[in-house]
Amino acid sequence: MKNVILGLLGCVIAIYTIVSCLSIYSISSRKNEVENCVAQVVKQNMQRYYAKEHSDAEVSAFVKQDLISQLRSDSRVSVDILACDMRTGILSVSVKEEFFLPTGTQKVIQCNKTMIVEEEEDEEEISA
């Protein structure tokens, strides 16, 4: 009887450890995926639309569409464009992803990325 109880207790501890490891891995992999995806989309859209003939509303829609298409998961993703000005070169995006862990608890990951274009002035223009 003692061995049965110890065996069951060992199984419960093993299952709890495995579920905890899966939860930690799920959080870190989703966070990494969101950060990399947002950085890539912000950079691509800034390179594509900076100082071009597109309005800021169009660029915001393109950024949202790109982020939602690249973040393919079973979770709920919300994308907010905090700032978008393609004439001056500012693009700021906030992404919030809500998902459930294997334990059944809900987790929220939020990522904010801002890109600002800097231009260097030529020495000839400064002295003139």
Task: Give the confidence band of 120 by pLDDT, cuts at 50, 70, 90.
Answer: low
With CA atoms as reference, report the closest residue to 102 among 34, 15, 43. Answer: 15
> Residue 109 and residue 28: Cα distance in Å, rounded?
10
Residue 128 binned pLDDT confidence (cut-offs 50, 70, 90): very low
Task: Kindly give, in sequence order, each residue whose CB lies less than 8 Å from that of residue 56, ignoring residues fewer than 6 positions away.
Answer: 84, 85, 86
Q: Tens of pLDDT along 46-98?
A: 888 887 887 888 888 888 988 888 887 778 889 999 998 888 888 999 999 99
Per-residue pLDDT at 13 exceeds 60: yes
**pLDDT at res. 122:** 54
CA distances from 59 to 34, 35, 49, 118 (A): 20, 20, 7, 19
pLDDT above 90 (res 117): no
